[in-house]
Amino acid sequence: MRVEVYTTRVCPYCVAAKRLLNKRGIAYAEIDVSGDHDKREWLVAQSGQRTVPQIFIDGEPIGGFAELDALDRSGELAARMSRASESA
């Protein structure tokens, strides 16, 4: 499972998202979009959102920290991890 977290330097929700992923042992690539206008525009085009963090799982935009937290609380995040490890 490939997880990408698009962040900026000053972003408490970015910190919270990374903390949750670390707590669950989920590896992720962090992409800092601070000051990168082209990357920010791409992110808006892909996710439909202007806020960070924006989190993608296997190329699918899932939203920000609130959505990641909801996936975790519902058990769906663990289920996705399990399915990914079974197919690896």
Which pTM was predicted? 0.93
Pick the CATH number of 3-87 from 3.40.50.12780, 3.20.20.20, 3.40.630.30, 3.40.30.10: 3.40.30.10
Centroid of chain to Cα 5: 4
Write the pLDDT tens digit of every residue in 14-54: 999 999 999 999 999 999 999 999 999 999 999 999 999 99
Residue 84 — pLDDT band, cuts 50, 70, 90? confident
| Arithmetic mean of pLDDT, 2-25 | 97
The residue written with tokens 């079974």 in the block is 86
Half-sphere exposure of 21 (CA within 13 A, CB side): 26
pLDDT band (50, 70, 90) for residue 86: confident
For residue 3, the one-letter residue type is V
Burial grade of 28 (CB within 10 A; 0-12, 13-18, 19 or more):
middle
pLDDT, residue 28, reads 98
